[in-house]
Structure 1
Amino acid sequence: MSSQPAPHPADAPADPQRPAVTPSGAHSLASRYRAVRARSVALAEPVSAEDAMLQSMEETSPTKWHLAHTTWFFERFVLAGSGGYQAVNANWDYLFNSYYQSVGPMHARHRRGMLSRPSLAQVLDYRRQVDDRMARAFSDDQFGTSLLQRIELGLHHEQQHQELLLTDIKHALWCNPLKPAYRDDLPVAGAAAGALDWLGQEESIVEIGAAAWPLDSEHFAFDNESPRHRVLMPAHALATRPVTNGEYRDFVEAGGYRDAALWLSDGWARVNQDAWQRPLYWDEASECEFTLGGMRPIDTHAPVSHLSYYEADAFARWAGARLPTEVEWENAAASVAVAGNFVDQGYLHPVPPQRYVESADAGGPRQMFGDVWEWTSSAYTAYPGFREMPGSLGEYNGKFMSGQQILRGGSCASPRDHLRASYRNFFHAPDRWQFSGLRLARDA
């Protein structure tokens, strides 16, 4: 590993074929920076130093690493753009790089849980030092448009890691035979899910995607959401709400995990390889589930979560339906407000419909945002005309467009101001540790 960070073009020339986008004023962005960074620390507060270095599987990362990596992002891609910048600790450039090959080598992902040093206290101090440097740079008006755009991107990047921090520590604590709670004071919400109805849609040409890949607070979108383009959408019907725990339990009790005819070939192989019999975190009796609040009775009216793509697809086949395409999902979501059960509500678990999701018109789609990410049948590929961000940040999304599926809508661990109808999340088909569920669709 090198003793100094590798040179990096922090202010690469703007792409002349992309419209110039001016972020919100530096003052409001500085305020947003403080708020997002403070939330990460608050989410980590219930986690002990011992908990903070747990890595329960290769796909997850320790809480401590999330806190450090998001800080590294601002140091590497924002502060290091200033001439003569001295890193807080140059060796950490290697430890906390995630996958930016153009920046330099990085510690192996599956060995992040071996990093007992730096300590949690040192990582938190690292955050404070970088935040202090960012505050001075904001105060001195040192950030030009390009760096302000990078800061906006970095804040949305940190919000992604806030959700991962919660889902990763949940999996780690579940692996403990004692099944300890992340927090034992999380509220519980009770309500009826309501009937599952269908919303018909005629064949039409629709527009999806982000208009111009902007990077400001008001119209932010990642590069993989662009460009906005027209698509022929076949006639179909979309369910008015996500599938509930009660409905999915019917599938389990009906022998859904024993019927090979319902499963994709790779899915059936995974069912047998890993002995899947129910959603991740459900107990053997399908009566209780592990939550960030510890073991709790399963709420039959809440959206089912922690399903792989394979499980979502198998349930849809069993129900005589299918998963929606991302075009169908986005077309429906564009008509409703981004309102729902997010990390902001404090449940940190999917709940039945509440007052804050009643903004949708009567008879319209419900719970499109929050509660659970909804698997779609769409593979994660580039939109027509897609162009990655210039420079090293081009590695952020584009290079992962292979072998993954699109999820839409956000979850109970997502920040509300991080989401929009065009947001494209993506995971591998077997992944179950995210708050992932499903909404049914069918051909007209």
Structure 2
Amino acid sequence: MRLQINKGEFMKNWQIAERSTSSKSTINSLTGILLKASGQDDENTVRLEATDLKTSVKCISRGILVEEEGEAVLPVKVVGELFKKAPTSVFTVSVTDGKGLIIAGRNRYKFTTYPSREFPTLPVSESAPFFCSISASELLRTISEGTVASTVGEEFPKYLGTAFFQMKDGELRVISTDGRRLSLSKCYPAEKGEDSDFLLPITGLKELQRLLSSVDGETPVQVLSDTTLVFFQMGSLEFSVRRVEAAFPNYEKILNPQSTTSLDVDRNSLASALERVDVIVREFSRMVLFRLSPQGDLVLMGKAPETGAVEEILDGKIEGEPLTVAFNVGFLLDGLKALYGDRAFISFNGPEGQMTMLRPDQKDFLYMVMPIKLTESDLSFEEDDGEEEDFPTE
């Protein structure tokens, strides 16, 4: 195999594939990228493939002239760094009998490749049922908002480290929860398949979000799903994620429309006030106390024995019953950042019921947080902190 590579064009695709390799695997081929070069002159095709066995990527690379066909697995750690640091904008890569050579101007770099026969055969999407077709920007928004309440890592139950994708009545929903909060975002894809659902790991979705943000927002994304994998196709790029086999809780039963108190407030003002409260409480309980008085002001309070105390007073439209309730300040900031726009509409369901955050007059995103159970000392602004309630999962 012999390739003439334009560094600027090629590295965009190389870096996409590089992120799907496994840096910790004991299987050498998983730490490399498979290059398949075919055709010559005007019919060049160079395919890059990479996988960590949980996610996989296939893409057609641009900026390459195929001088000799072939395939090889190039180790990312060494070759990838040489590609990035090559002193010329155009260089040549050749592989013969497992030995690689990079020629950049008068400079030569030799390296060892891995056998392409050891690279796993990546899954194919041809027979996977159609799930939906949606623009890259809309899918990115829905995933970004729907995973706000997620947690990353090997969690138990397994659904805690996932997002639930549900196609129902022509509406795509993405939902996540960490047991104390829940986020739900929805959209209406241009084309829909049959009603179905699946769970995908948050780690894989974070890489998908990076890919979606790197393409034009109007790029159509075809989503296909079989019993084990979900495929996302964007032009010459295909990204696949292995599904998580677990049951997601019945989230619909906690979407309680009832509320005792509501707040319509400037989003940026509330977020800024909460950030200042967090300065005081972040090393202690991270608890912020809300005091809402209908026809009055919103008062935010926080405290930490070793740091001090804070009180913020904000304007807002408060309706319903007077209420004193506490939340994790970090959870509230996560929701406000995802909300965007000028205003936030927040409904409360008493001191122990969930809080729901929405965009005023919109129903495409909601964010729910369970309050912290307050003690008598909390209500008197003393030092004890409380315990957070969990969402019911039965």
TM-score by length of 2: 0.23
Q: Which has the higher contact order (CA 8 A, sep 6+)?
A: 1
Structure with the bigger percentage of strand: 2
TM-score by length of 1: 0.21
Structure with the bigger percentage of helix: 1
Larger Rg: 2
